[in-house]
Amino acid sequence: MLVIGIAGGSGSGKTTVVKAITERLSNERVVVIPQDSYYKDSSDLTDEEKRAHNFDHPDAIDWDLLCSQLNQLKQGQSVEQPVYSYISCSRSKTETVKVNPADVIIVEGILIFTCKELREQMDIKLFVDADDDDRLMRVMSRDISERGKDVRWVIERYSRTVKPMYLQFIEPSKRYADIIIPQGGHNKVAIDIITNTIEKSLRDKLGK
């Protein structure tokens, strides 16, 4: 089993890189563990408090559960992954997603390299880099179309938390990466090299 961590700022193109790698590894069993599923439940907050909620600080993540479930998968056990809603800032009390062990586990999220215990469970760590302007445009498009936010909310949040937290926590975590991917998911040369590296590491680990 191979555990790959893919980090980078919001809107850097992590999802594109994950998709490109999983498509290339179609002959292997691959599961993706998104950090976003492990946000702590904040349903008890008022609407104003939810609006001000900082999703980009490490304290927003339930690291104990994420590390525990990743360890269970590495031990060959299935887990019940939580379901989190950005709309209500809540974790479902009735719904989970069953995740089975796989040859390749991809852990993806903006803050995953800030957690030492999680990093130590990873075999390969990738950091997806992108220009600030490009990331802002992608964040704006995603939050408006997928999360029901308006332009004013996105810009306010970007200025108040996204950019400061990127500079304080996410960008410095780049030093833990084995490979840095510039230009995000559009860097096909880097993705080819990384996929070949993953395939070789997998063969070595599994004795193929």
- What secondary structure does DSSP assign to the chain, as a single string? -EEEEEEE-TTSSHHHHHHHHHHHTTTS-EEEEEGGGGBPP-TTS-HHHHHT--TTSGGGB-HHHHHHHHHHHHTT--EEEEEEETTTTEEEEEEEEEE---SEEEEE-TTGGG-HHHHTT-SEEEEE---HHHHHHHHHHHHHHHS---HHHHHHHIIIIIHHHIIIIIGGGGGG-SEEETTGGG-HHHHHHHHHHHHHHHHHHHT-
CB 108 within 8 A of CB 14: yes
Q: What's the CA gap between 205 and 5, in Å, rounded? A: 17
Yes or no: say if 52 and 142 are a contact pair by the CB < 8 Å rule: no
Report the residue count for the chain. Answer: 208
The pLDDT tens digits of the residues spanning 85-132 come to 877 778 888 899 999 999 999 999 999 999 999 999 999 999 999 877
**Residue ranges covered by each domain of the chain:** 2-206
pLDDT tens sequence across 36-69: 999 998 877 777 776 777 888 999 999 999 999 9
Question: Nearest-CA neighbor of 157 among 59, 84, 51?
Answer: 51
How much is the pTM?
A: 0.87
When pLDDT is averaged across residues 67-75 and rounded to a whole number, the result is 97
Domain 2-206 carries which CATH code? Answer: 3.40.50.300
Q: Quote the pLDDT of residue 29.
A: 85
Counting residues of the chain whose pLDDT is more than 90, the rounded percentage is 47
- 110 close to 8: Cβ distance less than 8 angstroms: yes
